[in-house]
Amino acid sequence: MQDKQLRILVFGAHPDDCDVRFGGMALKYRALGHQVKFISMTNGDTGHYSMGGGPLARRRYEEAQAAAAIADVEYEIYDIHNGELQADMPVRNMVICSIRNYKPDLVVCHRANDYHPDHRAVGQSVQDAIHAIRVPNVAPLTEPLSYSPVMAYLQDRFTEPAAYRVDIAVDIDDVVERVIDMLACHVSQWFEWLPYDRGGLDEVAKVPEGEAQRREWLAGQMRTRFAGVADQGREKLIETYGKEHGKAVKCAEVLMVSEYGGKLEPDQIPVLFPFLPSR
């Protein structure tokens, strides 16, 4: 392991957002002894069709902690109602304090252009906070940082006002089954709410009884999803891993480096992403 222990801070809008877009990289960082923290900026309390409020928020908190135990990461959840996240000053100050207190080398979040207003609010809030973390008189009861961490965006496929650009692509074939195990902890979402939202509850009902069968049903969907991400990042995978390896990657995660955070020089990439091959 490199001498410096990295600290990685990932902001998602809902419990499970970090897991599905950064779970593989989180596992790789932890395998090398680096620290990873996930923050869900809402408590997810409307993300279901038959329950909500406090009971759902508590259920989703427990699901997130179960997933965190698999990845050996810290998982914090802001107590803000699902669907009501605003990129306002109180939320910005929460983000500033979270970043200052964790002192990350890399901050990751959604982009500010996204289908979901909570996702957009995450991106806007983190962008607005990333400069202010160095300003002493902003949120003055927390010590300002003396540096700007690198900032990057979680994967998406939105094109307005600008398409997602793949700057970092990571082969997660070796850890994808553990990522699926993490996602399977979010029972309320992957086996209930999301199938309902796409009109597929009948499909779940047809899955044979038993945890292993349900998990394999989910695994089929997630392998397809991560294969799509690999195709989205194929050019960068080939550039990073070489032609033979890059073309063979089945499942991947990707990041887009933001211009708002600290500058990521090419020679810093293997330092900040130590699981990538040196080329």
Sequence-distant (≥ 6) Cβ neighbours of residue 33 within 8 angstroms: 1, 5
44: in domain: yes
- Directed axis angle between helix 117-132 and helix 89-102, to 10°? 60
Sequence-distant (≥ 6) Cβ neighbours of residue 207 within 8 angstroms: 213, 214, 217
43: in domain: yes
pLDDT confidence of residue 1: 42
pLDDT category of residue 188 using cuts at 50, 70 and 90: very high
Cα distances (Å, whole numbers) of residue 145 to 68, 75, 142, 182, 242: 27, 22, 9, 32, 37
Cα distances (Å, whole numbers) of residue 237 to 31, 58, 93, 228, 245: 21, 39, 37, 13, 8
Given a cut of 50, whether residue 98 has pLDDT beyond it is yes
Sequence-distant (≥ 6) Cβ neighbours of residue 213 within 8 angstroms: 207
CA–CA separation, 197 vs 200, rounded Å? 7
CA–CA separation, 142 vs 132, rounded Å? 12
216-251 pLDDT tens trace: 999 999 999 999 999 999 999 999 999 999 999 999
Given a cut of 60, whether residue 87 has pLDDT beyond it is yes
Given a cut of 90, whether residue 63 has pLDDT beyond it is yes
Q: What integer is the mean pLDDT of 263-269?
A: 94
100-137 pLDDT tens trace: 999 999 999 999 999 999 999 999 999 999 989 999 99
| Residue burial 173-182, b: 16+ Cβ < 10 Å; e: rest | eebbebbbbb
pTM: 0.96
1: in domain: no
pLDDT confidence of residue 215: 92
Given a cut of 90, whether residue 178 has pLDDT beyond it is yes
Q: Which domain holds residue 177?
A: 7-272
Q: What integer is the mean pLDDT of 54-64?
A: 97
pLDDT confidence of residue 205: 76
pLDDT category of residue 27 using cuts at 50, 70 and 90: very high
Q: Specify whether the CB–CB gap between 8 and 103 falls below 8 A.
A: no
Given a cut of 70, whether residue 2 has pLDDT beyond it is no
Q: Specify whether the CB–CB gap between 251 and 224 falls below 8 A.
A: no
Side-chain-side CA neighbours of residue 209 (13 Å) = 0
Residue 140's Cβ-count burial label (10 Å; 0-12, 13-18, 19+) is exposed
Q: Specify whether the CB–CB gap between 120 and 76 falls below 8 A.
A: no
2: in domain: no
Given a cut of 90, whether residue 60 has pLDDT beyond it is yes
Q: What integer is the mean pLDDT of 134-158?
A: 97
pLDDT category of residue 139 using cuts at 50, 70 and 90: very high
208: in domain: yes
277: in domain: no
pLDDT confidence of residue 209: 74
CA–CA separation, 248 vs 263, rounded Å? 31
Q: Name the residue with tokens 């080398």.
A: 105
194: in domain: yes
Share of the chain above pLDDT 90, in %: 89
279: in domain: no
CA–CA separation, 183 vs 55, rounded Å? 20
**Domain total for the chain?**
1
**What is the average pLDDT score of the chain?**
95
Q: Give the CATH number of the domain where residue 260 resides.
A: 3.40.50.10320
Given a cut of 50, whether residue 174 has pLDDT beyond it is yes
